[in-house]
């Protein structure tokens, strides 16, 4: 177990390496650390392309969906080859705090453990630990930039389902912070779907006006930052599309009105699984590379 630390950061910034595997000429690693935002131990995966041996590289953050850990993405998405080709570091955090001993945290697959929804909770008993938005946008990038050969000015964000929602809101809430954003089957309008309503009422309370800060469709309507080119892939045979959980049409309509560029691709025959993500991962990393390596 290797400890990686940086003299400019306190002991909370220390990392413990959990695993390291040579992959596509670089290394797929997993680390563990004590999170100050989430007040628990957290794991994240980082892929270091061959280029990271000799130069600072841009970083793409990947946010996973409901029930996932960092393992789903690194074992199923096929991201390492295109990341190696384009010289991009990929960071994939877990989807929620774990083992916080909160009553009810393990009762539902779509709320609590594995379902942080990338918000900063304001409600008891969740508000102490469930601060995934601040973790993903502030604590984790600080940690990554302190310990790996990154270029802090070149970062982007992507994700799937709940993580697609997370990627979109992070980009829309922080104009200019991320050079590119993409998503696979994102939850585009969580205020209007069962998944989002359950999560937001639990984490944020009953005042729906507070939910607007974490809804991509609402955020897009108010966006006034630099141009953000969005790539979204959606499987046409996705069971959650027909169940009105994802609602991409709502986001597309707002982006069209606001002249926010969106490439939306409805992919015939594909579902919500990692088989779908694997099929188009090269396209997404190429999209990110266009802006990260410009």
Gap between the Cα atoms of 226 and 162, Å rounded: 25
Gap between the Cα atoms of 147 and 191, Å rounded: 37
- Cite the active site residues: 161, 238, 272
Taking the CA atoms of residue 123, residue 124, residue 129 and residue 133 in that order, the dihedral angle to the nearest 10 degrees is: 0
In three state form, how does the secondary structure of the chain look?
CCEECCCCCCHHHCEEEEEEEEECCEEEEEEEEEECCCCEEEEEEEEECHHHHCCCEEEEEEECCCCCCHHHHHHHCCCHHHHHHHCCEEEEECCCCCCCCCCCCCCECCEECCECCCCECCCCCCCCCCEHHHHHHHHHHHHHHHHCCEEEEEEEEEEECHHHHHHHHHHHHCCCCCCCEEEECCCCCHHHCHHHHHHHHHHHCCCHHHHHHHCHHHHHHCCCCCCCCEEEEEECCCHHHHCCCCCHHHHHHHHHHHCCCEEEEEECCCCCCHHHHHHHHHHHHHHHHHHHCC
């Amino acid at each position: 177990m290797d400890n990686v630390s940086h003299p400019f950061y306190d002991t909370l910034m220390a990392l413990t390496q959990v695993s390291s595997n040579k992959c596509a000429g670089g290394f797929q690693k997993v680390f563990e650390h004590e999170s100050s935002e989430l007040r628990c131990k957290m794991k994240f995966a980082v892929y270091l392309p061959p280029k990271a041996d000799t130069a600072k590289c841009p970083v793409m953050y990947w946010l996973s969906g409901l029930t996932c850990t960092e393992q789903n993405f690194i074992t199923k998405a096929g991201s390492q080859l295109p990341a190696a080709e384009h010289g991009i570091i990929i960071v994939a955090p877990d989807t929620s705090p774990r083992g916080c001993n909160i009553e009810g945290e393990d009762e539902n697959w779509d709320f609590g453990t594995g379902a942080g929804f990338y918000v900063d909770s304001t409600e008891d008993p969740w508000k102490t630990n469930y601060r995934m938005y601040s973790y993903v946008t502030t604590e984790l990038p600080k940690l990554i930039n302190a310990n790996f050969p990154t270029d802090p000015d070149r970062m982007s964000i992507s994700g799937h389902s709940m993580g697609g929602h997370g990627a979109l809101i992070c980009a829309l809430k922080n104009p200019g912070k991320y050079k590119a954003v993409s998503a696979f089957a994102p939850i585009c309008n969580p205020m209007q779907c069962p998944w989002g309503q359950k999560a937001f009422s639990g984490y944020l309370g009953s005042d729906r006006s507070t939910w607007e800060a974490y809804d991509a469709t609402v955020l897009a309507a108010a966006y006034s930052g630099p141009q953000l080119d969005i790539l979204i892939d959606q499987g046409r045979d996705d069971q959650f599309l027909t169940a009105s959980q994802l609602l991409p049409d709502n986001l597309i309509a707002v982006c069209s009105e606001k002249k926010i560029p969106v490439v939306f691709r409805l992919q015939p025959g594909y579902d919500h699984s990692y088989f779908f993500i694997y099929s188009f991962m090269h396209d997404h990393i190429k999209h990110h590379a266009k802006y990260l390596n410009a």
